[in-house]
Structures are given as C-alpha cells and as structure tokens.
Amino acid sequence: MSKSYTTGERARSRPTLKLSHLPKPPPRLRLGGVEPSEDMEPGEYKVACEGASKKSFARGLRIELKHRVIDGPHTGVGLRQWITVDASGVISPKSRYAQQCAIALGRPLDVDDDVNDPNSIFLGRIFLAFVGYRKTEKARGGNNAAAAEYAMTRKDAADGLRIHDLLSRVEL
C-alpha cells in the first residue's frame, strides 16, 4: 500500500490550531473579618494574612494586604495594610515593600522571589503587627508631616485602624 500525502495546496487551506488561555475564575467571596470595636486600641496584635493584591492608583502601584486578628479579645477583626510601590515597578532592596517581604519570608528578598505576586509572599503567614490610626496630624489626612505618634490618636470619624508595619513573623 502506498501512503498518500497532502499536497501543498490542501495543507494551506487547513486552519492552524490556536490555543487560547482560559480566563481565571474569580475568587470565591467571603467576609474578611469584622470591623474593629470602639474599645480596640492602637498597639501590637497577632494577625494572619488572608489575601494580598497589587493595584494601580494615582501615584503608582499599591500593594494591599488583608489581615485578620487571630489572638486576644479582638480575634476576628479584619485590618488592611497598604504599601505604595514606585510606578516604575522596580523594587529597591531598602524600600518598605522589600522590608515587609523580608519579614514575611524570614530572610532578605532574592531575585527569584515573585514580588509581582504578593499572595505568594504574604498569604497564610502570621505576624506581630503594629496597628494604629492615620499617621497624619490633621483630620482627613493631607500633606502634613506623618509621624508614628499620630497613629495613636483617632483624628475623626473616618479615621480607622489599619496595619502600619509587620514587626515580625510569628508561629501559632
């Protein structure tokens, strides 16, 4: 038996196979903790990171970390932390983002670490965190000098508790 091969003309009329990327399913929604009560004070709390994302905003990029208090009378309170990143996308080893990544990883950042995916660095880890109010003196924020002592006082009704710094990585 002889083998038959397609002629060049017929081969050209065949459509080429193209692979498409399937869209990622959206994350399953769940409540990310409860609001802090009126008696929750600024200070140090043990928190677990429940999610992290990278978003564009007016002045560049922002890493948003979602934490939940896991110890003490305020267990279950959801708190956020925001870390701004230069719009160029280049992370300086001395930047706040690099320092917080180093705490999460338990070592300095390496070129192989995926800083583009904050979930890969922070998700599921437990930290001792400094929680406070806005670090500006004036109500509603603004361009006044930010200082750590201002984080200890609530300036107005819109000023809520948030995580300013991850101090250390801890175990349960």
Q: What is the pLDDT of residues 28-51, one digit of tens each?
A: 887 778 999 999 999 999 999 999
CA distances 39 to 34, 36, 116, 161, Å, are 14, 8, 37, 11
Q: What is the mean pLDDT of residues 129-150?
A: 81
Tens of pLDDT along 81-138? 999 998 888 899 999 999 999 999 999 999 999 999 999 999 999 999 999 999 888 7
Average pLDDT (14-33) is 76
Return phi, psi of residue 115, to 5°.
Answer: -70, -15
Q: How far is CA 139 from CA 63, 119, 136, 163, in A?
A: 24, 32, 8, 18
Please state the length of the chain. Answer: 172
Asked whether 97 and 63 are in contact (CB, 8 A), the reply is yes
Mean pLDDT taken over the chain = 87
- For the cut 90, the answer to whether the pLDDT of residue 144 exceeds it is no
- Global pTM value: 0.79
Give residue 89's region: left, alpha or beta (phi > 0; psi -120 to 50). Answer: left
Higher pLDDT, 141 or 155: 155
3-state DSSP of 108-146: CCCCCCCCCCHHHHHCCCEEEEEEECCCECCCCCCCCCE
Between the alpha carbon of residue 2 and those of residues 5, 6, 10, 161, the distances in Å are 10, 13, 19, 80
Q: Which band of pLDDT confidence, cut at 50, 70 and 90, is reported for residue 148?
A: confident
Q: Report the relative pairing of strands 43-57 and 60-69 from DSSP bridges.
A: antiparallel
